[in-house]
Amino acid sequence: MADVPIVFRPPLIEGNKSLADITRDVSRPMERRPTAMWWTAFGASLAALLLGLVAVTYQIATGIGTWGLNRTVGWGFDITNFVFWVGIGHAGTLISAVLFLFRQHWRTSVNRAAEAMTIFAVMCAAIFPLIHMGRPWLAFWVFPYPNYRGSLWVNFRSPLLWDVFAISTYFTISLVFWYVGLIPDLATLRDRATTKVRRLVCGLLSLGWNGSARTWVRYELVYLLLAGLATPLVISVHSIVSFDFATSILPGWHTTIFPPYFVAGAVFSGFGMVLTLMIIARKVMGLEEYITIRHIEAMCKIVIATGGIVGLTYATEFFIALYSGSKWEYFVFLNRAMGPFAWAYWIMVGCNVLAPQLLWFKRIRTSLAAVFAISILVNIGMWFERFVIIVTSLHRDYLPASWTHYVPTSMEIATFIGSFGLFFTCFLLFCRFVPVIAIAEVKGAVAHDRHQSETHHE
């Protein structure tokens, strides 16, 4: 029998980098002065954040009557943005935890930024339920703690309370996972520090890391355990967010398809944002040899898979509405596609179903301009998906006399812009002071590629 040729993939990191080269290249953006491009982006993000702070302050002082909500549409821009931002954070957990357990080495160049994106996105998401309370200074009432209010406790049967537990757990595990992965790199920055302040800060945060074999064994065990804890969160968090809708009796919401539908959509939108940020970061920070076309292609394939699931759920929803025999369910979905908000529905379909199909072509997957444009469309489409689910299911209910329209006010739009300002301000600060790429993990991937190459030559 003839020998079957073994095909080895090209190395993940280009340029035949040595371990010292990796440390030097990743540390360089933090050790040099910020560029004019960084200051421009930071100034724009900070201005958007300040606009959002002014809008939120005005809302709290005046009341949520500043929004375009009414008695029919009780949820609008605020809950749409909440679900949107929670979904954005899903790719970070998937890349960090799930792909780590499956030993996917390509994740090493993008997992650090994806983890940071998760933390910042959850921070942005938390803003909107707090504002929606109307009295955010009483937000501590949602936590079950011993109190002096008699038998007044939180309603544990409410999915809104489940959100509190799910998202706070998600944020805590993601933050710890991100920080533990940073410890070896913080020790590297400590050893390279040229100022006393940087050496002191990095020394404290690296927790006395000495790089010994015993330290590495303990670190890898803790990292593996945290990955195992974080993996169920990929499924649980957005499933619980979907229960806000699925446990209701409202046509358009009362469906069992929402948990897997929301999870697939969250991963879909999360990878869209990761692609957007990584394509920009690799160019601005000179990391083209670390975030390669192979990384972009791998993420594009996940976008194709999750986008296909999202498209299937759109069709399944219509089938269920028709097959159920409920005229109320059928009317809701017919209203989505042909009613006053039909323009939002078809933007959603075009961005989430049609645009990602272009990624089947290798020429498109390897074109950074095309992938960047598609990633922007994915984020736009997923925002409209949440808008369509929430607003079009509410604005026309059982009584035609209560039918109404919904238009967001300038306060709602300013708050949404402010959430983007918070996200990008935090992300730019992260790029300035923290290694965007996991130095230790990339070195491990390079060592794996070299071992594979040596075995091939032998």
Report pLDDT digits (tens) over 230-284.
Answer: 888 888 888 999 998 998 888 889 888 999 999 999 999 999 999 999 999 888 8
What end-to-end distance do the CA atoms of the chain give, in Å? 21
Mean pLDDT of 27-48: 90
pLDDT in tens, 144-176: 877 777 777 888 888 888 888 888 899 999 899
Query: Could you tell me what percent of the chain has a pLDDT over 70?
Result: 95
Classify 164 as helix, strand or coil.
helix
Check whether 4 has a pLDDT greater than 60. no
Mean pLDDT of 427-439: 90
Which two three-digit tokens encode residue 312?
A: 């299937």
Check whether 323 has a pLDDT greater than 90. no
Pairwise CA distance, residues 433 & 430, whole Å: 5
Residue of 115, 132, 119 lying closest to 85 (CA atoms) = 119
Check whether 70 has a pLDDT greater than 70. yes
Check whether 452 has a pLDDT greater than 50. yes
pLDDT of residue 178: 92
> Residue 211 — left, alpha, or beta (φ > 0 → left; ψ -120 to 50 → alpha)?
left
110 vs 88, 132, 294, 412, CA distance in Å? 15, 34, 12, 33
Which range, 17-26, 144-153, 181-190, is most confident?
181-190
pLDDT in tens, 199-213: 899 899 998 889 898
pLDDT in tens, 288-309: 888 889 889 999 999 999 999 9
Longest dimension (CA), the chain: 81
pLDDT in tens, 108-158: 888 888 889 999 999 999 999 888 888 888 888 888 877 777 777 888 888
Check whether 5 has a pLDDT greater than 70. no
Which range, 159-163, 192-196, 424-428, is most confident?
424-428
Mean pLDDT of 26-46: 89
Which range, 15-29, 37-51, 100-114, 236-250, is most confident?
37-51
Residue 197: partners with Cβ closer than 8 Å, 6 or more residues away = none
Q: How many CB atoms are closer than 10 A to CB 415? A: 27
Domain locations in the chain? 19-144+154-448
Check whether 7 has a pLDDT greater than 70. no
Full 3-state SS string of 295-364: HHHHHHHHHHHHHHHHHHHHHHHHHHHHHHCCHHHHHHHHHHHHCCCHHHHHHHHHHHHHHHHHHHCHHH
Which range, 69-73, 104-108, 269-273, is most confident?
269-273
Check whether 443 has a pLDDT greater than 90. no
User: Identity (one letter) of the amino acid at 46?
Assistant: L
Q: Please, which pLDDT band fits residue 39 given cuts at 50, 70 and 90?
A: very high
Pairwise CA distance, residues 84 & 99, whole Å: 23
Q: Please, which pLDDT band fits residue 455 given cuts at 50, 70 and 90?
A: low
Q: What is the pTM (predicted TM-score) of this model?
A: 0.91
331 vs 9, 248, 338, 339, 366, CA distance in Å? 52, 17, 10, 10, 42
H helix or E strand, kind and range, residue 385: helix 368-394
259 vs 239, 244, 356, 452, CA distance in Å? 4, 10, 22, 40
> Residue 75 — left, alpha, or beta (φ > 0 → left; ψ -120 to 50 → alpha)?
beta
Check whether 1 has a pLDDT greater than 70. no
Pairwise CA distance, residues 86 & 379, whole Å: 13
Pairwise CA distance, residues 120 & 416, whole Å: 14
CA angle 354, 359, 363 (to 5 degrees): 135
pLDDT of residue 305: 94
